Structure 1
Amino acid sequence: MLSDLKIFLRLMADHKKSVIFSILLGSVAGLVTGGGLTNGVERLFTIILSEDNSLSTSQVFGVAAAFPIIFIVLGVCVFSSAYLLNYAGLASIRDLRAKVFARVQCLPLAYFQASKTGDLISRITADTAALQQTLTFIARNVLTQPATIIGAVFYLYWVAANNEGVYKIYLCLIALPIVIFPIRNFTRKIERKARKQQEDLGELTNNLAQNLSATREIRAFNLQERENSRFASRLAELFISQMKVVKYQFGLSPVVEFCSSIGLSIAFIIGYYNGVPGGVFTSIFLALYLTYSAVKKLGTFASELSKGVASYQRIEEILASPVDIDDPDQPIEFDNIQGEIEFRNVSFSYGDTIALKSADARIQKGDICALVGPSGAGKSTFANLVPRFYDVSHGGIYIDGHDIRHFRVDELRNQIAVVSQEPVLFDDTILENIRLGRQDATDEEVREAARQAFAHDFITDTSNCPNGYDTLVGERGARLSGGQKQRIAIARAILRDAPILILDEATSALDSESESKVQAALDKLVSGKTVLVIAHRFSTIKNANKILVFNDGEIADSGSHQELFERCPLYQTLYNQQLSS
């Protein structure tokens, strides 16, 4: 338990002052409970059970006043201790969430391909919430309960020193070590069950995330019953793991209470036959009760701590995930970049799956280079390696003769604009979605980029966009058509004005009228820039002056359309297939 507790203390290391003051105040509260309250009870019951009525009024009121004073001190200390430790705990959870989120932003795309989105969401939200619950429980118990035990034991020692025969009562304390064994056994099981519970919750969250991202497909294929069944199955698994945690968590308390009751029964028998005075015996009984009660709460605390550790371990896995794509120790500064791209014997694998093998290519400044080939041939991988979305497994990629791994990652990506086949818009205004291309751009520069992308007209049409550039686009741009989203994405790339462009079939979502407008904008945009066009339709590569043909992860051939059509059987086949369709 101490090793688990150290984890939480390290977690709150940035708030040492609050933790230290909380420890001091919690210790005072525990000592007042274990020592002061028991002493007050002894005095009270000694007076009540005594036949001596010779006490003065001031003595009677003095004893009576002791209890409000004790509980005022106790209340202030308990509140202040819990408040300070909650402050440190909640601030630590806030910082941890920010740290985990920042870590997620640094992780390579390969990490997300191997992870489930819902599980990541669960770790950042549900696991940190479980940690928060644990820290709140710690704030109420970790400091006061041990101090209560110390105060009560000290009082018991003081009573034994001043009353003959009392020490025999302490034989009942042998029940204390006994409860350690069930506590240890239960907490180990709780930690394992709690981790399984959080994993099942992650699977449930992942199932929910997938469902909400595919609402159209679910209705189109009548998958509602299938989804209901899958979700119900996940709920059943989570329910089973939750009940296992409940079983061990709440099964611990009766065991501790049973052991405690045996100790208290022994205390009663010994006290009775040794003629211990009523007031003294009552205070001893209270001290023993407070001791056993504190031990029981520490047992519950241990189970809560185990649950928190299980959640922290899942969060720690994110924090410990390596950031494979990092900045060099001595980065090269970009200086008047020309945009020449060269692949030298580049290979790349997704785990055990080879995606690119020994690729060699040179794309001159100003080239419009189309990447063609069957699905899964390596086109997208080739393009994604340029902005270092992934790092090569072998070989190197060079821009203007410099290995891209020698540049800072953010500086490299500032030189590249990307327009995807399915553009992603954030739930913000149209203005801010375009401004993502260059975040320091003025409103007028954003509007000019929209004009060049032929987006200005539909943006200012109040029937389409009621608030013009301040219209919210909805989650993933749900309130816009496919063509409108694409033109906003192109406007974003125009605003960036980067020397290197990556276009993933940028006009595929447009109708013929919009496509002609955007194609004109693209013709202006690509002028003087190095462009990689991931081509799925051959009609989109008519302006390409260089074509790379991919097959099974290799560059099978390269050249112009005419050259490839004459000598490359694969290119001929792909071209004729699209022409006939």
Structure 2
Amino acid sequence: MLKDLKIFLGLLSEHKKTVVFAVALGSVAGLVTGGGLTNGVEQLFTLILSDDRELSTSQILGVAASFPILFVILGICVFASAYLLNYAGLASIQSLRSRVFSRIQLLPLAYFQSSKTGDLISRITADTTVLQQTLTFIARNVITQPATIIGAVFYLYYVAAKNDGVYQIYLCLIALPIVIFPIRKFTHKIERKARQQQEELGALTNNLAQNLTAAREIRAFNLQERENRRFTERLADLFISQMKVVKYQFGLGPVVEVCSSMGLSIAFVIGYYNGVPGGVFTSIFLALYLTYTAVKKLGTFASELSKGVASYQRIAEILESPVDIDDPAQPVELQNVLGNIEFHSVSFSYGSTPALKDASAVISQGDICALVGPSGAGKSTFANLVPRFYDVSEGRITLDGHDLRDMRMNDLRDQIAIVSQDPVLFDDTIMENIRLGRQDATDEEVMEAARQAFAHDFISDETNCPQGYETVVGERGARLSGGQKQRIAIARAFLRNAPILILDEATSALDSESEAKVQVALDALVAGKTVLIIAHRFSTIKNANKIIVFNEGKIADIGAHEELYSRCPLYKSLFDQQQAS
């Protein structure tokens, strides 16, 4: 348990002074409970059970006033300690969530291909919430309960020194070590079950995330019953995991209580036969009861700690995930980038699956280079290596003669604009979605980029966009048509004005009218830039002066259309198939 506790103390390390002060206040509260209240009870019951009624009014009032004073001190210390520890805990959780989110921004794309979106969301939200609850529970108990035990034990020693026949009562404390065994067993069980519970919650969240992002397909294929069945099964799995945690979490309390009751029964028998005075025995009984209650709460504390550790382990997996693609120690400073790209014997694999093999190519400044080939041939992989979404397994890629790995990633990606087949728009205004191309751009520059992309007219049309550039587009641009979203994405690229442009079949999902408008914008966008076009349709590469043909991860041929059509059987076959269709 101490090892687990160190994890949480480490989370609180940024607020060390606050925690130390809270610990001091909690210690006072525990000592007042374990020592002060028991001593007050002894004085009170000694007077009540005594036949002596000759105390003065001031003495009586003094004894009576001791309890409100003790509880005022106790209340202030407990509140202040819990408030400060909660402050430190909540601030630590806020910092942890920020660290996890920042880490996710640095992780390579390969990480997300092997991770489930819903599970990552669950780790950032649900697991950190469990940690927050654990820290809150720790705040209430980590100091006050041990201090209560210490205060009660010191009081018991003090009473034993003053009264005969009391030491034998302390035989009942042998029940305390016995309690440790079930606590250890239960906490180990809870940690395993709690991790399983959080994993089931992550799977449920992932199921929900997939359902919400595929609402159109679910309705189109009448998958509602299938989705209901799968979600219900996930709920059932989560319910079983939760009940296992509940069983061990709440099963610990009765076990501790039974052990405690045995000790208190022994104390009663010994106290009765040894003739311990009523007032003294009452205070001893209270001290023992407070000790056992504190031990019980520490047992619950241990189980809560185990749940928190299980959640922290899931979060730590994100924080400890390696950032395989990072900036070099001494980066090359990029100035006046021309856009000359060269692949030198480049190979790349997704895990153990080869995607690109010994690829060499030269794409000069101003080239419009189309990447063609069958599905899965390596076109997208080739393009994704240019902005270092992945790093090469073998060989190297250079930009204007500099290895990409020698550059800062931000510097490199500032030289590249991307327009994808399915552009992602954020749930923000049109103005801000275009401004993503260059975040320091003025409103006038954003609007000029929209004009260049032939997007200004529909943005200014109140029928389409009631608030113009301040119109919120909805999640993933749900309130815009496919052609409108594409033109917003093209406007971003105009605004970025980068020397390298990557087009991932930017018009393939559009109708004829929208494609014509977008194509006009693209023709203006590519002027003077080094362009890579990931082509699935040959109609999109009519302006390409260079074509690279891919087949099974290798470059089959490079050349212009006329050359390739006459000498490359694969290219001729692909071209003829599309022309025939």
Give CA-to-partner distance per residue, 1:490-513, whole Å, 9 cap, x none: 000010000000000112233333
Q: Distance in 1 between matches of 2:202 and 2:525?
A: 44
2:20 is aligned with 1:20? yes
* Cross-structure match for 2:311: 311
Contact 2:18 2:84 in 1 (8 A): yes
Q: Which amino acid in structure 2 is aligned with residue 19 of structure 1? A: V
2:314 is aligned with 1:322? no
Give CA-to-partner distance per residue, 1:155-180, whole Å, 9 cap, x none: 00000000011001000000000000
* Cross-structure match for 1:331: 331
Q: Distance in 1 between matches of 2:162 and 2:483?
A: 90
2:353 is aligned with 1:350? no
* Cross-structure match for 2:369: 369
Q: Distance in 2 between matches of 1:395 and 1:20?
A: 55
Q: Distance in 1 between matches of 2:515 and 2:3?
A: 63
| Cα distance, 1:335 vs structure 2 | 1.0
* Cross-structure match for 2:213: 213
| Cα distance, 1:352 vs structure 2 | 1.0
Alignment of 1:239-250 (within 5 A): 239-250=239-250
Give CA-to-partner distance per residue, 1:517-552, whole Å, 9 cap, x none: 322222222111100000011000000000000111
- TM-score of the two chains, using structure 1 as the length reference: 1.00
Q: Distance in 2 between matches of 1:205 and 1:115?
A: 13
* Cross-structure match for 1:56: 56
Contact 2:550 2:557 in 1 (8 A): yes
| Cα distance, 1:514 vs structure 2 | 3.1
Q: Distance in 1 between matches of 2:517 and 2:449?
A: 14
Alignment of 1:71-470 (within 5 A): 71-470=71-470
* Cross-structure match for 1:69: 69
2:477 is aligned with 1:502? no
Give CA-to-partner distance per residue, 1:399-450, whole Å, 9 cap, x none: 0010000000011000000000000000000000000000011101101110
Q: Distance in 2 between matches of 1:454 and 1:5?
A: 60
Give CA-to-partner distance per residue, 1:265-305, whole Å, 9 cap, x none: 00000000000000000000000000000000000000000
Contact 2:483 2:518 in 1 (8 A): no
Q: SS in structure 2 opposite 1:179? A: helix
| Unaligned stretches of 5+ residues in structure 2 | none
Contact 2:500 2:530 in 1 (8 A): yes
RMSD: 0.6
Contact 2:344 2:361 in 1 (8 A): yes
Q: Which amino acid in structure 2 is aligned with residue 517 of structure 1? A: K
Q: SS in structure 2 opposite 1:388? A: coil
Contact 1:378 1:554 in 2 (8 A): yes
Q: SS in structure 1 opposite 2:334? A: coil
Q: Which amino acid in structure 1 is aligned with residue 283 of structure 2? A: S
Q: Percent identity?
A: 80
Q: Which amino acid in structure 2 is aligned with residue 413 of structure 1? A: R
Q: Distance in 1 between matches of 2:304 and 2:321?
A: 26
Contact 2:190 2:245 in 1 (8 A): yes
Q: Distance in 1 between matches of 2:388 and 2:265?
A: 72
| Cα distance, 1:465 vs structure 2 | 0.5
| Cα distance, 1:478 vs structure 2 | 0.3
Contact 2:415 2:499 in 1 (8 A): yes
Q: Distance in 2 between matches of 1:136 and 1:470?
A: 42
Contact 1:417 1:497 in 2 (8 A): yes
Contact 2:191 2:310 in 1 (8 A): yes
Q: SS in structure 2 opposite 1:555? A: strand
- TM-score of the two chains, using structure 2 as the length reference: 1.00
Give CA-to-partner distance per residue, 1:29-58, whole Å, 9 cap, x none: 000000000000000000000000000000
Q: Distance in 2 between matches of 1:521 and 1:151?
A: 79
> Does 525-534 or 71-80 show the bigger shift?
525-534
Q: Distance in 2 between matches of 1:120 and 1:273?
A: 63
* Cross-structure match for 1:575: 575
Contact 1:182 1:255 in 2 (8 A): yes
Contact 1:417 1:500 in 2 (8 A): yes
Q: SS in structure 1 opposite 2:423? A: coil
Contact 1:486 1:509 in 2 (8 A): no
Contact 1:18 1:88 in 2 (8 A): yes
* Cross-structure match for 1:542: 542
Q: SS in structure 1 opposite 2:510? A: coil
Q: Distance in 1 between matches of 2:490 and 2:125?
A: 34
Q: SS in structure 2 opposite 1:359? A: strand
Contact 1:252 1:300 in 2 (8 A): yes
Contact 1:369 1:531 in 2 (8 A): yes
| Cα distance, 1:554 vs structure 2 | 0.6
Q: SS in structure 1 opposite 2:501? A: strand
Give CA-to-partner distance per residue, 1:283-335, whole Å, 9 cap, x none: 00000000000000000000000000000000000000000010000000111
Contact 1:29 1:144 in 2 (8 A): yes
| Runs of 4+ in structure 1 over 4 Å off | none
